[in-house]
Chain A
Amino acid sequence: MAPDDRGHFGKYGGSFIAETLMEPVLELQEAYDRYRLDNEFRAEFEWELKNFVGRPNPLYHAKRWSDDCGGAQIYLKREDLNHTGAHKINNTVGQILLARRMGKKRIIAETGAGQHGVATATVCARYGLECIVYMGEEDIHRQAPNVFRMKLLGATVVPVTSGSKTLKDALNEAMRDWVGHVDDTFYIIGTAAGPHPYPTMVRDFNSVIGREIREQSVEHTGRLPDAIIACVGGGSNAIGSFHPFLDDSEVALYGVEAGGDGVDTGRHAAPLTAGKPGVLHGNRTYLMEDEAGQIIETHSVSAGLDYPGVGPEHAWLKDIGRVNYTAITDTEALASCHKVTRTEGIIPALESAHALAYAEKLAPTLTADKNIVVTLSGRGDKDINTLAELEGITL
């Protein structure tokens, strides 16, 4: 089973990093290999998930919305009910426990929508560690409430003004910080990408989502779901949802990318749907790039999906055909966001709304005895400014 011992998922993944980062990355690999199997570490992680994060969160039967869609029954995996409002905390809890065992005092992170930044600032506050979050200047404007949340939690938010001033540039800047502070710094990457062991480690910490879906699906319906749908930016909530089901061929898996203005317009953030393999941010994977190999700007209404790459395991799962990847446009995601809000009383994050929109397409093609699980990766509170702005309202 993938990856190999150097983090390759088929031809994807690996460790494409500058020499100065080789030592800290190898040190991290060693630490993770040791603690992933350590009973005390695992017990502490489980305890934190239960008592600090609030797991398990429910698998909720969205009955009214299912009836509206007509066809399969849709269940929502409520990651939005976690502490800090998204799945991101699963991973930051895991990485901070590792950082503490490695004796690192200074934590850095990148963030796009701000959810990972908040989740990192939260665990740093919990353990009294210094926290520096890199965030694109563009995103700082789009996600002002999360910026303030991070500051409240005691983090330093550093605006990134290079390149396109969004998530990818924040990642570049965090890497540069790490190169300059390798001795005392732990870099908490927020998605299942980056050099080995990040894609595997972030997947493992988020696989609690899929494990709970397994158990809860059996509780609700007596069997595994027929399909699971999750949105894919870097792909951490999706890989966490999918991974425990990879060997269950009867469970169809759907990863939904950000189609922006439409994949055929070129203005989107859907590397698996319309990109090519390349090397960026420490791993080989599908990328949004021009014909000369330069990374191009992405477009999505959802800041959390606005990233030109994707985790390497997704690249591999696409090539071997285990997961179906597709894209949903801004317009479709917004429509589903409103729909689910009005029908179920749940305001989803715009990222998660991409997965919901695909469920609306898939459900009517299936009979009413089929069950679909959608991972509702985060809550939409952070997006109310964006939603209001689209309706011409200033809050």
Chain B
Amino acid sequence: MTQRIEACFAKAAADGRKLLIPYVTAGDPSLDVTLALMHQMVTDGADIIELGVPFSDPMADGPVIQAACERALHAGTTLSSILELVERFRQSNADTPIVLMGYMNPVEIMGHEAFAQRASAAGVDGVLIVDLPPEEGGELLDLLKAHGLDTIFLLSPNTPEYRVKKVCDLVSGYVYYVSLKGVTGAATLDTAEVAERVAAIKSLSSVPVAVGFGIRDAESAKAVGSVADAVVVGSAFVTLVGEHGADQASILSTVGGLLASMRQGLDSLKA
């Protein structure tokens, strides 16, 4: 299964296309809406989907994703039910890679082995644990790899060169460059600085580089897409989900609409 993400980047590279990776918090406002939204996002141009696993104490997230976590947890979402969601998604989509993004504790409680085994069986492709730096990965990383799951890590503007190398050596799938020093949903980004940092990362490693944080519309997606292999967008979509309560139709149309405009922005970069 590890091939889905790799294949996705390989195909995009061949087509001169930039990948668009939306993030949504699973179970916000319900797992059924998340499922419908995942399919909608694929229709509107998502290449990979990052599914947020809600946590009670999301220390690296800003208010938008904190609120999404609270809504999802209030609806009874658990890591276990998210794995079932991925299984349901896989019944009608065998191609779009799914990355689970969240915090360490729900994985700890499920157990490293059980998580790796169940995530792989459900059709998950990659795992990004925000509060797990590679230095603490140890046994869990080995288990994820053994079950064919990609291990994605973050790089930030203040990651020094020696750690960029170290992190990229342990990454599979793609590395996620956080475009600013701050929590999710914060501030705006400096495209020139991002370009410089992405170039530096690319000079040290051949893994694809996705860039996230601070991208909220077609214009910023295009600006980042011009220097990165992929663009990750989270808070902008999660804000829209939060604005529409349980109204699935509005969630699908507004998120889908914004995503489609970003897709167009990225596609306008082609040759």
Contacts and interface: CB of A to CB of B under 8 A. Distances in A.
Interface of A: 6, 14-20, 22-24, 162-163, 168-169, 172, 175-176, 179-183, 276-282, 284, 287, 289, 291-296
A293 B160 contact: no
Given A176-B60, A279-B104, A22 B163 contact: yes
Interface in B4-49: none
Given A281-B59, A293-B110, 5 more contacts: A15-B133, A20-B154, A277-B108, A281-B57, A293-B106
Given A19-B154, A20-B178, A294-B73, A176 B106 contact: no
3 smallest CB-CB distances across A and B, nearest first, come from A293-B109, A293-B106, A19-B154
Contact of B59 (A14, A23, A175): A175
Interface in B65-92: 66, 70, 73, 78-80
A17 to B, nearest CB: 6
A309 to B, nearest CB: 10
Interface stretch (B181-189, B222-230, B255-263): B181-189
A252 B186 CA distance: 50
A279 B138 CA distance: 15
A6 to B, nearest CB: 7
B174 interface: no
Contact of B156 (A16, A20, A176, A282): A20
Interface string B149-164: 0000111111110010
Given A179-B60, A294-B56, A18 B182 contact: no
Given A179-B181, A278-B108, A18 B131 contact: yes
Contacts of B80: 292
Contacts of A6: 135
B105 interface: yes
Given A17-B131, A23-B159, A176 B62 contact: yes
A75 B103 CA distance: 44
Given A17-B131, A279-B104, A179 B182 contact: yes
A296 B58 CA distance: 14
Given A182-B158, A292-B79, A22 B133 contact: yes
Contacts of A17: 131, 133
Contacts of B158: 20, 23-24, 182
Contact of B105 (A172, A180, A182, A287): A287
28 contacts: A6-B135, A15-B133, A16-B132, A18-B131, A19-B178, A20-B156, A20-B178, A20-B181, A22-B133, A22-B159, A23-B156, A163-B56, A163-B57, A163-B70, A175-B59, A176-B59, A176-B62, A176-B183, A179-B182, A179-B183, A180-B181, A180-B182, A182-B158, A291-B109, A292-B109, A293-B109, A294-B73, A295-B57
A128 B232 CA distance: 42
Interface string B124-166: 0000001111011000000000000000011111111001000
B160 A23 contact: yes
Nearest to B62: A176
Contact of B57 (A23, A172, A182): A172
Contact of A19 (B62, B103, B104, B133): B133
A278 B106 CA distance: 8
B1 interface: no
A14 B106 CA distance: 18
Contacts of A163: 56-57, 66, 70
Given A292-B106, A293-B110, A16 B182 contact: no
A278 B112 CA distance: 12
A20 to B, nearest CB: 4
B107 interface: yes
B60 to A, nearest CB: 4
B130 A168 contact: no
Nearest to A284: B108
B66 A162 contact: yes
A276 B109 contact: yes
A54 to B, nearest CB: 36
Nearest to B133: A22
Contacts of A179: 60, 181-183
Nearest to A175: B59
A168 B153 CA distance: 26
Contacts of A18: 59-60, 130-131, 154, 156
Contacts of B55: 293-294
Nearest to A18: B60
